[in-house]
């Protein structure tokens, strides 16, 4: 796939990452010359280092080996396992692993520009074109992960690194998704693979994750929406010190009240409203985000339903209006999947939190119900609905 910015979204074959055993920690200094400290990660310090033989510059994360059986063991194992599986232009590249009795050293590509949080603090906000480039790269990486049933679960500004420094022109927005300690590999988006553990950073956390009702890979898309909102205006869309308070704010839906929104296109706002849909069944997917006119640089606001479930809702609404005089016609409100916007008070307790994980059979059954309810003058069939079904649910 060729992107609007000339990049390729297709990664090369997965790599065999070398794992080298060190007798002593000092042995690593015979291979690398250590430079300045780059930062403090979730479970280790990161330093710039130069390979003595090739003179290639890398970043080395130094992790104290966690105690056996501790939660940190799972976190470190997750990071290593997933980074060994992935190979994408906008995901941090793991070059090698060194192990000693006391330490684990992860050698990754060097990102000289810091992270997006640091850059946002300097800039206060990003232009729409700058945001578009960043969000395209981020969505491209998330599509790649979701195709491999990997859910990041902690996408945030701090975990998006900049390959180059801020004075390197357009290349300064070459981003790398990092920190996979909370990531998981699932069996797909079917009902049996629902996750329940709440994790990540509160202001980026999807409402279905906080609700305790179960969630899937759509939680990453919510996080993309929060990141995009913050890039454009410098502030998060929802703020609270508690999870309960944040959920209450989220139920009021996204609003564009900051002065920065006066210069942002309606197309960008439309994208945000679909990334930040409370009900994950109606939320835009990462792949759909890549297909929006806004990503291609257009300012046109799309019309019509965003996915197959909205199309069914619209169909049922139309047919209900047409068939009001026919006995036996069920009202649309009896349908079990209702958008969160329509039921703000009850949606947190509603079973629709797993609606985004409907498999093809479940959606086909919904389509059958829609077909049975339409009037004698309607001609919509299941075959007519297959293209949006693939686009929305069968990535």
Q: Which residue numbers are catalytic?
A: 154
Q: Do 332 and 342 contact (CB within 8 A), yes or no?
A: no
User: What is the distance between the alpha carbons of residues 17 and 87, in angstroms, rounded to a whole number?
Assistant: 11
User: What is the distance between the alpha carbons of residues 239 and 257, in angstroms, rounded to a whole number?
Assistant: 14
Q: Where are the beta strands (DSSP E) in 156-215?
A: 160-162, 175-177, 184-185
Q: Do 281 and 309 contact (CB within 8 A), yes or no?
A: yes
β-partners of residue 115 are 161
User: What is the distance between the alpha carbons of residues 49 and 32, in angstroms, rounded to a whole number?
Assistant: 6
Residue 134 has which token pair? 């960043």
3-state secondary structure at position 115: strand
Measured N-to-C along each axis, helices 308-322 and 360-373 cross at an angle, to the nearest 10 degrees, of: 20
Between the alpha carbon of residue 395 and those of residues 147, 182, 206, 392, the distances in Å are 7, 23, 21, 7
Q: Where are the beta strands (DSSP E) in 52-92?
A: 57-64
Going by the DSSP 8-state scheme, the letter that residue 282 receives in this structure is: G
Q: Do 74 and 81 contact (CB within 8 A), yes or no?
A: no
Between the alpha carbon of residue 271 and those of residues 82, 228, 331, the distances in Å are 29, 10, 30
Q: Do 200 and 212 contact (CB within 8 A), yes or no?
A: no
Q: How far apart are the first and last CA of the chain?
A: 14
Q: Please give the annotated binding residues, written as ranges.
A: 61
Q: Please give the annotated binding residues for ATP, written as ranges.
A: 61
Q: Do 136 and 5 contact (CB within 8 A), yes or no?
A: yes
Q: Strand 94-99 vs strand 103-109: parallel, antiparallel, or unpaired?
A: antiparallel
């Amino acid at each position: 796939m060729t992107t609007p910015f000339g990049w390729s979204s297709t990664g090369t074959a997965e790599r065999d990452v070398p794992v080298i055993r060190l007798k002593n920690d000092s042995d690593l200094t015979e291979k690398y010359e250590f430079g300045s400290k780059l930062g403090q990660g979730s479970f280790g310090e990161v330093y710039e280092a130069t390979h003595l033989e090739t003179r290639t510059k890398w970043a080395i994360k130094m992790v104290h080996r966690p105690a056996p059986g501790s939660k940190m063991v799972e976190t470190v194992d997750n990071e290593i396992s997933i980074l060994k599986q992935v190979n994408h232009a906008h995901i941090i590249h793991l070059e090698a692993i060194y192990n000693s009795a006391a330490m684990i050293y992860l050698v990754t590509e060097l990102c000289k520009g810091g992270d997006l949080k640091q850059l946002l603090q300097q800039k206060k906000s990003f232009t729409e074109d700058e945001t578009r480039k960043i969000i395209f790269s981020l969505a491209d990486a998330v599509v790649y992960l979701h195709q491999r049933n990997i859910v990041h679960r902690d996408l945030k500004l701090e975990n998006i690194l900049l390959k180059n420094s801020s004075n390197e022109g357009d290349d300064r927005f070459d981003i790398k998704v990092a920190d996979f300690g909370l990531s998981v590999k699932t069996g797909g988006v079917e009902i049996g693979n629902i996750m329940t553990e709440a994790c990540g950073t509160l202001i980026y956390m999807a409402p279905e994750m906080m609700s305790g009702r179960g969630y899937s890979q759509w939680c990453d898309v919510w996080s993309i929406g929060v990141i995009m909102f913050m890039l454009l205006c410098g502030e998060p869309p929802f703020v609270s010190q508690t999870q309960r308070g944040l959920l209450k704010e989220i139920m009021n839906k996204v609003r564009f009240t900051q002065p920065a929104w006066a210069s942002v296109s309606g197309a960008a706002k439309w994208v945000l409203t679909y990334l930040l849909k409370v009900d994950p069944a109606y939320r835009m997917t990462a792949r759909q985000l890549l297909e929006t006119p806004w990503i291609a640089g257009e300012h046109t606001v799309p019309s019509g339903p965003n996915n197959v479930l909205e199309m069914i809702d619209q169909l049922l609404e139309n047919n209900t209006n047409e068939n009001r005089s026919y006995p036996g016609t069920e009202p649309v409100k009896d349908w079990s999947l209702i958008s969160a916007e329509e039921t703000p008070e009850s949606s947190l307790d509603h079973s629709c939190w797993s609606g985004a994980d409907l498999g093809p059979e479940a959606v086909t059954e919904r389509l059958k119900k829609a077909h049975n309810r339409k009037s004698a003058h309607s001609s919509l069939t299941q075959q007519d609905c297959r293209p949006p079904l693939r686009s929305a649910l069968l990535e």
